[in-house]
Structure 1
Amino acid sequence: MISVVHVGPDVYSFGGTQTVIRVIRDHKMGADEIRVLSTWDGRHHAKNFVLTARAGAALARVPRTTIVHFHISDGGAWLREGTLIRLAKARGLRIVATLQGADVAREVLQHRRFIGATLRRADHLIVFSDEARASVGQLAPGVPSTISVNPAPIDWDAPAAGRTPPVALFAGTIGLRKGVDTLAAAWQLLLDEGIEGECRVVGPIDDYTPPPLERFSVEPAVHPDAIPGLIRTARVVVLPSRAEAMPLIVTEALAGARPVVATPVSGTPGIVPDPKMLVPVDDPPALAAAIARYLRDPELAERDGLKGQAHIAATRSPEVIGAELRRIYESLGVGTN
């Protein structure tokens, strides 16, 4: 029997890493027993310190046949999870680390000594791009690594995109890294062309507040369980990011039979089934043209959405990624009897 403890942000806080952990837990992916320990729940340093301390206390008590799977995003996650990785290694536990950060290569270069010492304590690393794999390979050459993808449940009951009103949806942190400024500029171009429909921007505001535009709404984040329903309200989902690891909203949109318009950063090109869904970074005219194509042609949106859904079902469903995780866990040689 394989028992895995997943360590990372609280599954109901806001973010893609949180959603991935929740999907793994809810679908019992890769293991017979799954437990989740939280180390982060928003920008509350004292609370996160307490969560991390509690996670450390729990890891100090788990059986030595337990596999500990860490999910590391950006910045402070390296300090929180890095400390716990050292504890798990000292106990002789097997360690898997998934690097979920938007720019793993940059982080590795900036903090080579600490990150390298952390990665070398792992037994297996999971990354989302060749670039990330090359970066971690320089710091931890003896640690096996796998290029993988994030799982997404398939929304087989989603209504067809062609029957949805002409709505373009952005769902995520509202900021410059996600390219919301580019989206606002693109929407202004579409308004100048007389586009029908609306653009919804849903999420917490970070370092950019969009200007007031006609039929361009800025809305607060929704509960993670409400994301599939939110996607159903849109004809196309948009993510014009400047940096990503493996953007979950793109996978979730395709799993919900919605076409996407995104930028070709990091692992994103491997998610979409058609390169026509990709536009250059920082290119409002190209972004506007791609959005308009789906808002003006519901039949195209429906065809591309269904094509994307079939692609995700074949490559990123919980069943497919669960089997991959199982192989990784079994390769560690513990808890398999």
Structure 2
Amino acid sequence: MRVAYVVGTTTGGTGRHVRMLAGGLVRRGHRVVVAGPREVEEQFGFGEAGARFAEVPVSDRPHPVNDARAVLAVRRTIRGADVVHAHGLRAGALAALAMPRRSGAPLLVVTLHNALTAGGFVGAVYGLLERIVARRADRVLVVSPDLGERMGALGARDVRPAVVPAPPLRAPRRTPAEVRAELGAGDRPLVLTVARLAQQKGLETLLDAAAGPWSGTPPLFAIAGEGPLRGELERRIGAGRLPVVLLGNRDDVPDLLAAATAAVWASRWEGLPLSVSETLKAGTPVIATAVGGVPGLVGDAGILVPYGDPAALRSAVQKLIYDPAEAARWAEAAARRGAELPGEDDAVRAALDAYTRS
């Protein structure tokens, strides 16, 4: 089988997911090409996974001239493919526009990894892209039920859940005591968030919760990640003297998870966040907002709270950090759930099933 993947600008889970699928298909004897921006190949190394890479300048924002060039480049790249699998709304719409209108055209599969959150003109443009994907894709894979309902309402013919596993979690290289000493946590509870510093992640609610009041020693909140909100967050943390440290991008997340009392997400929306999957596999207690695909991912192995409610988030954190027995119970639940999550082979098999015409 000849499979063409189309990706846009990505710095995280989408790129890792495509690399995993490409490598899995190559190992099974399929021919794979990945089309996307040069910087995505440089970050994720699709060529190292055995796929051929074709540079396509997919911009991160709609642009008529650039998008027309991208459509032509995608059309050249997918020539001869049996299946075209685009990841993300932008890449999905470009792939849909690039598809030949003839019998025997490749099967078009689109995986939607994120929800539409922008408003105004950009939101209207993305709404148009959603309709293009819904009406032209043969199959749409979604990371959350709300995305599936939206695509179905827009006319998608075949909507299925996406299987997006977290990569295997390596063992920690440092002891929790060493990590806590580095962060300045001392004997305080350590609450970890792994997230991009962006609007979607609801970090303003996290800071509201961190401000207290606390019924015991205030925990130290550590946020691992980078993004456009760093400056704004730093100003608020400093002005309020909040017990929060910004760690930047880290390559030692397993060490941080092992040292953390709990891991917290205050997100406005999430699909199948790899950071939550990694936390479950690490057996670290999970507290997250009940949005998108999070409830289905976590199941009953974590504490779910409403989005935008700092008091509920703070109450859930206090429930864990001041009661060791409660924390141990949630840690065991997380580890059990982590062991049940799908692996890379499951994801590749699900993709191959989606590539079958029916």
Give the structure-2-normalised TM-score: 0.73
> SS state of the match for residue 212, structure 2?
helix
Gap change, CA 1:56 and 1:170, over 3 Å in 2: farther
Measured after TM superposition, the shift of residue 54 of structure 1 is 7.2
Equivalent in the alignment of 1:203: 225
Matched, 1:193 2:215: yes
Indicate conservation of the 8 Å contact 1:103/1:243, yes or no: no
Measured after TM superposition, the shift of residue 263 of structure 1 is 0.5
Measured after TM superposition, the shift of residue 183 of structure 1 is 0.9
Gap change, CA 1:53 and 1:172, over 3 Å in 2: farther
1:254-304 alpha-carbon deviations (Å, 9 max, x no partner): 122222110111111111132751012122122112223333345544443
Equivalent in the alignment of 2:158: 144
Matched, 1:307 2:296: no
Q: List gaps (5 residues or longer) in structure 2.
A: 41-55, 60-65, 181-188
Measured after TM superposition, the shift of residue 66 of structure 1 is 3.2
Indicate conservation of the 8 Å contact 2:267/2:289, yes or no: yes
**Residue of 260, 279, 284 corresponding to 1:258:** 284
**Residue of 80, 83, 91 corresponding to 2:94:** 83
Q: Which amino acid aligns with 1:206?
A: P
RMSD of the TM alignment (CA)? 3.8
Gap change, CA 1:110 and 1:238, over 3 Å in 2: same
Matched, 1:6 2:5: yes
Instruction: Kindly report which structure 2 residues correspond to 1:157-168, keeping only aligned pairs within 5 A, or say none.
Output: 157=171, 166-168=189-191
For 1:321 and 1:29, the matched residues in 2 are separated by 14
Indicate conservation of the 8 Å contact 1:169/1:237, yes or no: yes
Larger radius of gyration: 2
For 1:171 and 1:52, the matched residues in 2 are separated by 36
> SS state of the match for residue 193, structure 1?
coil
User: How many residues in Structure 1 have an aligned counterpart in Structure 2?
Assistant: 317
Measured after TM superposition, the shift of residue 216 of structure 1 is 1.2
For 2:227 and 2:73, the matched residues in 1 are separated by 34
Equivalent in the alignment of 1:17: 14
Instruction: Kindly report which structure 2 residues correspond to 1:318-329, keeping only aligned pairs within 5 A, or say none.
Output: 318-329=344-355
Indicate conservation of the 8 Å contact 2:144/2:161, yes or no: yes
Q: Which amino acid aligns with 1:201?
A: I
For 1:55 and 1:233, the matched residues in 2 are separated by 47
Equivalent in the alignment of 2:86: 70
Indicate conservation of the 8 Å contact 1:240/1:262, yes or no: yes
1:27-64 alpha-carbon deviations (Å, 9 max, x no partner): 5599644443324859xxx9645899579536514552
Gap change, CA 1:328 and 1:112, over 3 Å in 2: same
Q: List gaps (5 residues or longer) in structure 1.
A: none
Measured after TM superposition, the shift of residue 146 of structure 1 is 0.2
> Percent of counterpart pairs with the same letter?
24
Instruction: Kindly report which structure 2 residues correspond to 1:162-311, keeping only aligned pairs within 5 A, or say none.
Output: 166-189=189-212, 192-195=214-217, 197-207=219-229, 208-209=232-233, 210-212=236-238, 213-222=241-250, 226-274=252-300, 277-298=303-324, 300-311=326-337
